[in-house]
A and B are shown apart, each in its own frame.
Chain A
Amino acid sequence: MKHRPVLDVSELPTYAFGARSPMWWGTLGFCVLEGTGFALAAGAYLYLAFLNPQWPLSAPPPDLIWSSLVTVVLIVSIIPNYLSKKFAEKEDLPRVQVYLIVVLAFGLAAIGLRFLEFGGLHVKWDQNAYGSLLWALLGLHTVHIITDVVDTIVLTVLMFTRHAHGKRFSDVGDNAFYWNFVVLSWLPIYALLYWGPRL
């Protein structure tokens, strides 16, 4: 077929931030499917909690101390995370570098605290169904923290090398988006696992 040009796209930018970027939609897609996974896992936990006359099964509720610290660290990390995104949109490289490192520090702290948290559970995964689901939910979330921390490490390294330009800034925005998801998905799980049994 013969072509009849009716539109000139040569002046269009080659990348953009937020919902204009396909990567943002991809990240959203993964957040939604992983969020569904969390919701269903929490549903399974609640299902067994309602089915069993006693819950938690033959175990005191898990300690609050470490998990609450994790929660605080995650919530506070939202601030540097937000700033990393904001300065990425301004393509302000030095500040992006700084805030990425701060976010990373928070992420690593959260992982460290999470391991202490596992120590404060009074039940093993192979003891009963309560223990199994407790470990499964925590494990699932821990995998998400680790994934995003690794992602952030890679991005940080990129931002300190010759790759730090253009579309990379958009990637910083998407990374921040995903970290928000990791933090937000934690809050209901925290409430469910740590406060639910105390009600």
Chain B
Amino acid sequence: MSEAYAAPDPKELRDHQVDGPELTTRLARTWGTKRGLIGALSTVDHKIIGRRYIVTAFLFLFLGGLAAAAMRLQLARPESRLIGPDLYNQLFTMHGTTMMFLFAVPVMEAFAVYLVPLMLGTRNIAFPRLNAFSYYVYVFGGLMIWVAFMLNIGADVGWFAYVPLSGPEFSPGKRADIWAQMITFTEVSALAVAVEIVVTVPKQRAPGMTLDRIPLFVWSVFVTSFLIIFAMPAVMLASTFLILDRLIGTHIFNPAEGGDALLWQHLFWFFGHPEVYIIFLPATGMVSAIITTFSRRKTFGYLALVLSLIATGFLSFGLWVHHMFTTGLPQLGASFFTASSMMIAIPNGIQIFCWIATLWDGRPVFRTPLLFVLGFFFIFVAGGLSGIMLASVPLDTQVHDTYFVVAHFHYVLIGGAVFPLLGAVYYWYPKIVGRLMDERIGRWHFWLAFVGFNLAFFPMHITGLMGMPRRVYTYQHEMGWDNLNLLSSVGALVFFLSFVVFLWNVITSARKGAVAGDNPWQAGTLEWATSSPPPPQNFDRIPVVTNREPLWAERETLSVAAGLSVDNRELIVSTVSEARADLRESSPEPSVWPFIAAVATGITFIGSIFTPWAAVWGSLIVGVTLIAWFWPKGAKEDEK
């Protein structure tokens, strides 16, 4: 096998030939993003895209939260006439859909896009143009469904859109089509990011970052990306089948013509259960990062934590039927899913116990990020345990589709994902923005959130047991649910306020916060080895890693690799397990084509809601834009 070793080009400047500020500015020029609109749309910098991703995901959280606030207003009193059934159904569908597809999954990916290359000590994510594309596709999907909602054609069949209710017969009009296409949009974007991560982690780690030195957050998003790759095709298939049934008259879900309504549920939950771990696992990575830093001690049970991530990932594909216990499946089969659902308590328990052990032997520093992690323990464990109740087939026949389930999943979603996420915002904000968030407001934020959350969602366990089904736009006074619902609504208001406080803190700290410096928390991982915010090239020279917590092992100097080009976008490709430096590959330059391709994709998806031909003609246009994207015009390597 012949190997083309590029003879070092004498004219090309290498990073061992320059140093200090000159190196920084030159690299920044090479890796920088151009000014202006075209520059902004062409950028392939993972930090810029990651930042946009994070901000966009939080905007969707606020939209979803506003929908929740409206629902809680309606439910505060029995037989309230504030919101009618039509609007209410749209509200909870938009709320659930937004939270799951436009907030929770994307926000985790957003943090991964921003942090993974920094934590791995590389300069950009693998396939950065695909990364830009995925962001635009995500934005278009989110915009489409919310614009439709504003136009009163918002989706109204719930976030899992069961057929036949969402099928052609019972949901005429375009609402369900818009929902299904939004799914396609967000899945395309999620899958793209997953592939980037699945390549970045094994191939672009800093030299020396062997498998047992990968930061736990990176492990968590790495495992999550595999979950995405194996789970998301199921929902894409489901939503495509739904679109086909609705638009060209196929009968895949139509029992009258040999189809089946439960096929949808199987396909949806085959995705839907892993989905909740797609949200939860990255959050555990955040918890690990915060606990380690704020315990001032390396993580206890690193290997156990990694293995339980992997175990959770595997197990999560064997649980989907626990969402279908009341559909009348065979008894024995159903109880298999009880066993597998409960088994997942074991890897989850391992994680909890290892974190507690880390705190135990550490010296906890009670800053806001740690507060949110402590809140996470309190709430998530309760939610996980109510999950154990749901996992029991007989018990679930009572609580399925009631507010008990609503309570469970807000405990795990908000306790398990949103609390760690808020902690993560406090933790990484200084890296991203360059300034620390206000600690005093942070504490207010935490306590309001903690109290508001429990006030809002604890009573729902009881309303559920008292017979209140979910997704009802109103209830009668005689049911005796008034007070508990009022309490929930008050709690939701307090929780809402906590987010206003948070927003205030984020905005004011950006201008008035204390300047952060490189490593304000004295953390050990590589993202803290560069300036805050990091320069376009992330690192002036690629670090060489000898410890899981490189900055704790070497406090004064950073071991680095030298010899990369300063004028070309070069980064180190390493070997999979030992992370030996293997190649100097060039990373793609900025390009506006991913944006144009995303526009074309958007037009195709939206057009196909109205005519199947849009899919045919649209793919032609998308094909052209993709060719333009991959066409190697002006790429520096071609000009040699």
Contacts and interface: CB of A to CB of B under 8 A. Distances in A.
* A and B, direct touch (CB closer than 8 Å): yes
Nearest to A92: B2
B358 to A, nearest CB: 26
A25 B631 CA distance: 20
B518 A1 contact: yes
Contact of B558 (A1, A15, A89, A166): A1
A95 to B, nearest CB: 14
A33 B195 contact: yes
Contact of B16 (A8, A16, A130): A8
Interface stretch (B386-394, B452-460, B476-484, B581-589): B581-589
Contacts of B542: 9
A72 interface: no
A40 B237 contact: yes
Interface residues on A, range: 35 or more
Contact of B8 (A6, A11, A130): A11
A2 B585 contact: no
Contacts of B556: 1-2
A36 B230 contact: yes
Contacts of B254: 129
Given A8-B562, A48-B260, A33 B233 contact: yes
A129 B258 contact: yes
B199 interface: yes
Counting chain B CB atoms within 10 Å of each CB, the highest count among A10, A133, A162 belongs to A10
B357 interface: no
B258 A22 contact: no
B4 A6 contact: no
Contact of B229 (A33, A41, A44, A125): A33
Contact of A130 (B14, B126, B258, B563): B258
B24 to A, nearest CB: 11
A73 interface: no
A163 interface: yes
A57 B257 CA distance: 9
B561 A14 contact: no
Interface in B239-290: 240-241, 244-245, 248-252, 254, 257-260, 263, 266-267, 270
Nearest to A55: B258
Interface stretch (B107-115, B153-161, B201-209, B464-472): B201-209
B208 to A, nearest CB: 8
Given A5-B561, A136-B241, A29 B199 contact: yes
Contacts of B207: 7, 9
A33 B632 contact: no
B331 interface: no
Nearest to B581: A9
Contacts of A13: 3-6, 583-584
A3 B248 CA distance: 63
A88 to B, nearest CB: 11
A3 B414 CA distance: 42
Interface string A24-56: 011001101110110011001001100110000
Q: Give the dominant DSSP class at B's interface.
A: mixed
Contacts of A52: 258
A150 interface: yes
A12 B583 contact: yes
B544 A7 contact: yes
Contacts of B584: 9-10, 12-14
A157 to B, nearest CB: 9
A196 B391 CA distance: 37
Interface string A111-138: 0000000000000011111111101100
A5 B560 contact: yes
A139 B195 CA distance: 24
B541 A29 contact: no
A168 B5 CA distance: 15
A154 B629 CA distance: 12
B573 interface: yes
Interface string B1-15: 111111010000010
A154 B251 contact: no
A37 B236 contact: yes
B202 A15 contact: no
Nearest to A150: B623
Given A29-B198, A91-B2, A166-B637, A136 B563 contact: no
A90 B229 CA distance: 33
A128 B251 contact: yes
8 contacts: A4-B558, A10-B562, A14-B583, A29-B198, A37-B233, A40-B270, A128-B258, A129-B250
Interface of B: 1-6, 8, 14, 16, 19, 126-127, 191, 194-196, 198-199, 202-204, 207, 229-230, 232-234, 236-237, 240-241, 244-245, 248-252, 254, 257-260, 263, 266-267, 270, 518, 529, 540-542, 544, 556-564, 570, 572-573, 575-576, 581-586, 623, 627, 630-632, 637-638
CB-based closest 6 A-B pairs: A10-B563, A132-B250, A129-B258, A126-B249, A129-B259, A37-B233
